[in-house]
Amino acid sequence: MTPLQAWSCTGCGRVHFPERLGCPACGGAEFTPVVLAGGAVTEATTARDGTPVATVRTDAGPLVVVRAAGGLLPGDRVALGRAADGAASAVAAGEPGQGSRRRT
């Protein structure tokens, strides 16, 4: 996977995904790129066509809806990126066999 990119407003620092022409928080129009490396699943479901999808609260702040590796559940830590076809994607983070579920 290639990195999933977001944009940080140079005026107020708020991170946006997807890219915006202007910052809704401060009205700024200049942005710097930020890599969205990971986050936590807030919701997971299966689309009508059978594709697993998840909403992820990124470590940088914004929510992103991504194509997900099967079996992800709310609370799971994920690594984010772009698949070869350009789709935003998430895979479970952590070492194989260690599990990635957040215990509460």
Q: What is the C-alpha end-to-end distance of the chain, expressed in Å?
A: 30
Evaluate the omega torsion of the peptide bond into residue 74 and state whether it is cis, within 30 degrees of 0: no
Whether the per-residue pLDDT at 101 is higher than 60: the answer is: no
Tens-place pLDDT, residues 57-88: 999 999 999 999 878 999 999 999 999 999 99
Specify the pTM. Answer: 0.84
CATH code given to domain 4-92: 2.40.50.140
Domain range list for the chain:
4-92
Categorize the per-residue pLDDT at 1 as very low, low, confident or very high, splitting at 50, 70 and 90: confident
The pLDDT value given to residue 94: 66
Tens-place pLDDT, residues 37-51: 999 999 999 999 999
